[in-house]
Amino acid sequence: MYAIPLTENAELRLLEPWQDAEFLAHIDRARANTDPWIPWASRSTDLESARATLQKFADKQAADSGRIYGIWRDGILIGGVMFVQFDATTGNCEIGVWAEPAGEGHGLISASVRHLIAYAFGERGMHRIEWWNSAGNTRSRAVAQRMGMRLDGTLREQSLYKGVRHDMEIWSLLAHEWQGGPKEA
């Protein structure tokens, strides 16, 4: 089984369609944290839609154009990271994250992101990693900053959520800037 230890009691693993019930229970716990920031959170409301979300990423994984990972702490799914987009031909990809309240403040998101960055640059030879976040999502912005990403710019009123337009920030990290990255969470 594919698993990367993050701490003594936490690990990073692929998140697959057969885990739809566990994923749905997790998203229900995480919904207040994720719904404003992650579009698929508001669409994963029952087993069928949760499985469809995971299947979308399984299809992306098969096409080498994205993938999704869960973070388990003490055997419970508490968050995750993903390659939202992955294009080996151009050398560009995008990383995204989410967590329920039990997954916040333990450094697990940062540790997981470091693994994805190391994989993208070190194993896959990617050139550029992007990070998109709503300007109002300060926790997401903080992860980008901890990874050494630079703010490329802000797309004003780019995202629509419940009738309100939100600015989106785009951060990036280039392979030559990484050099193993920061070690502290």
Q: Per residue of the chain (185 residues), what is the pLDDT tens digit?
A: 589 999 999 999 999 999 999 999 999 999 888 877 777 777 889 999 999 999 999 999 999 999 999 999 999 999 999 999 999 999 999 999 999 999 899 999 999 999 999 999 999 999 999 999 999 899 999 999 999 999 999 999 998 888 889 999 999 999 999 976 544 44
Residue 114 · residue 147 · CB < 8 Å: yes
The number of beta carbons lying within 10 Å of the beta carbon of residue 36 is 18
Residue type, 67: R
- Determine the angle formed by the axes of helices 47-62 and 20-34, rounding to 10 degrees: 100
Does this model's pTM top 0.95? My answer is: no
* Beta-bridge mates of residue 37: none
Distance CA 20, CA 141 (A): 29
Distance CA 120, CA 91 (A): 9
